[in-house]
Homo-oligomer: A and B are copies of this chain.
């Protein structure tokens, strides 16, 4: 369910080594066999990818649909054809599908809204929706409710504060939120927490409609009838099957009762188009919405909540278990068969899913074909390579999470990395993930040619960062800009959630990467709608699937260089520097919060909110909130200092003496470092969400897709759980010290002690 937009907005962006194209310095222990990589490239074909995409996107392929199963079998057959040892592993997952969905305005007039999207000229599959599900969101709570409508903007916590200051609450009402900013599922969750009885979500044309480009089929942007489906499960609590948290959803698994599954909402929710949203919002009364709440509809956005528009919302679902077909394919490792390089992309979609997820899946199949060809020519990877085509990602990362939970013990013993892709686009390389791999990704980027310019994708990405900063387009990360200007490695962003890496990174402690191209495609406009089709993709997103091939070449190199490495390809100084940056951010956050709290208290005390308010359009004072105290961060500062020293020492030792290591020490070193990231887990997990155990990276409780780094501490400050801030500073310090100790032990191995 990845979208490039939020990835880019999330944090840093990948960039690139200084080296001229094709001349990059290898990472410390990197085994770069250029001849082999050239042979690999020769096996990658855009034409293959187009044919596979056309076939797989030819019919609706949501979880449980016949074409979803057919696609799994198609993928399985391909792996086998390419010479892989492959099978399908099936899980039985809770996946509700709609029996009936109704949304209608009942006052001031009766207008029925919703229903399936209509076919458009030139897009063959858009008329082929007989087997498709109607627009809906998965894991909402069935119900039949009628109530006054309140517009809540993006439906995030600050939006409710703005409503409260205008005397509007949503208790007993139905909210309408626009897509964007936070994870989809947070919108109804927060509405429910505030007492709303139902929730409607719509796509404002400012965000992905005519505000961005001509609507499909003239351009690639969302047409007035386009609707974004998706999951609204409480992903930041835990992903995977709501009935089997922490364990695999196998046939014999013990399951929760549905009403006890905390990730399922209690209130009904439906998504609608902006065509329909206009009918509701243009009739809404109440205060004029603040400027940040206004989208691109030709209306005066108002907050409602004072009567005027009433809505009837009713959803009924079929709640049986459905099969999820994960395709698992292996090439066994010759030297380290029990060190696994995992690489995955899901194959299920909401409807046809040409962009999301098939553009990534066909790139993965291209890699598999090219690796299979190398294998036939006699190449044997040193480590075992495991390719994974997940099912049921869309509802809540089900296929990947259940596989991870089922094989947790083995994975903890064997997995060296998990490399993810999802829908791909046209434009610039981006990557996020575990920072010891930052330099590897940068090195690979310097060696792959950009299809549009012929430059390296590294050089192109660097140019993009610099030109965006010069043109003042969006917010460009300072560190990324500096690195792009200097030509040094550009930081990769941290991983939040929203695609299949989550269980591997945040639950099992397996270092992960998420990679793709984007920034020039227009798939946002058809995201999770029936218009995400082969026609749309090949017209507006990646004509000729040239970037599909570039993605294969990029990820293939990452896989090859890790699988065949004699020495670690990681650079721990990058990780230590990044963690230090996060700590600086957290300290700034706390200081800014203290300042803001103090100002707010003074404003309340002085009656300034009352004085500044327009009596004809009153806005009340901000609510009283506890002041942010100083958190006890010294222990964490010391641990980060220690990490920096240990990391620098290790990197230097490896650079100085790595080449001289004998085989037994190389094996020992590889073993010591394979699972080092698992030391970053805390068995207790994050406060109130124990499934998430990683103390460096997590999806934000109130962002979802967006990452929160040092989450135990950072979110405690943000959410005013001040005791947790101190507690998690200690816990985070501990895992970092354990990590440093392991680095020191690894250094001893390198230094022959």
Contact = CB atoms under 8 A, between A and B. Distances in A.
Interface string A288-313: 10110010111110000000000000
Given A611-B459, A612-B463, A615-B452, A221 B470 contact: no
Contacts of A470: 596, 599-600, 603, 622
Nearest to A454: B611
Interface stretch (A170-178, A187-195, A206-214, A376-384): A206-214
A585 interface: no
Given A453-B611, A520-B614, A603 B296 contact: no
A89 B154 CA distance: 59
A674 B299 CA distance: 54
B614 A214 contact: no
Q: Interface centre among A427, A468, A603, by most B CB within 10 Å? A: A603
A298 B297 contact: yes
Nearest to A453: B611
Contacts of A599: 466, 470
Contacts of A614: 426-427, 452, 520
Contacts of A612: 460, 463-464, 466-468
Contact of A300 (B213, B608, B616): B213
A257 interface: no
A299 B485 CA distance: 37
Nearest to A606: B463
A214 B463 contact: no
Interface in A35-90: none
A490 to B, nearest CB: 14
A14 to B, nearest CB: 15
B455 A611 contact: yes
A34 interface: no
A475 to B, nearest CB: 13
A215 B300 CA distance: 9
Interface string A549-589: 00000000000000000000000000000000000000000
Interface residues of A, number: 52
A732 to B, nearest CB: 31
A26 interface: no
Taking the full assembly, how many copies of this chain does it contain? 2
A156 to B, nearest CB: 15
A205 interface: yes
A753 interface: no
A538 B244 CA distance: 65
Nearest to A211: B294
A235 B459 CA distance: 47
Contacts of A294: 211, 296
B611 A464 contact: yes
Nearest to A599: B470
Given A291-B473, A600-B470, A614-B427, A463 B298 contact: no
Q: Interface centre among A520, A602, A614, by most B CB within 10 Å? A: A614
A463 B300 contact: no
A460 B213 contact: no
Given A455-B611, A466-B612, A298 B606 contact: no
A609 interface: yes
B221 A610 contact: no
Given A300-B219, A459-B611, A288 B213 contact: yes
Nearest to A218: B300
Contacts of A452: 614-615
A61 B596 CA distance: 50
Contact of A298 (B296, B300, B616): B296
A602 B453 CA distance: 19
Contacts of A205: 298
A557 to B, nearest CB: 21
Interface in A506-535: 520
Contact of A603 (B211, B221, B467, B473): B467
A461 B274 CA distance: 40
A610 B298 contact: no
Nearest to A600: B470
A603 B455 CA distance: 15
A104 to B, nearest CB: 24
Contacts of A427: 614
A488 to B, nearest CB: 15
B600 A300 contact: no
Contact of A214 (B211, B212, B300): B300
Given A460-B611, A467-B603, 14 more contacts: A215-B300, A290-B473, A294-B296, A427-B614, A459-B611, A460-B612, A463-B612, A466-B603, A466-B612, A470-B596, A470-B599, A485-B602, A520-B616, A520-B617
30 contacts: A205-B298, A210-B299, A212-B288, A212-B300, A213-B300, A215-B300, A290-B473, A291-B473, A294-B296, A296-B296, A297-B298, A426-B614, A427-B614, A452-B614, A453-B610, A453-B615, A459-B611, A460-B611, A460-B612, A463-B606, A463-B609, A463-B611, A463-B612, A464-B612, A470-B599, A470-B600, A470-B603, A470-B622, A485-B602, A520-B614
Pairs of residues from A and B, 6 with the lowest C-beta to C-beta distance, nearest first = A463-B611, A467-B612, A463-B608, A298-B298, A463-B612, A520-B614
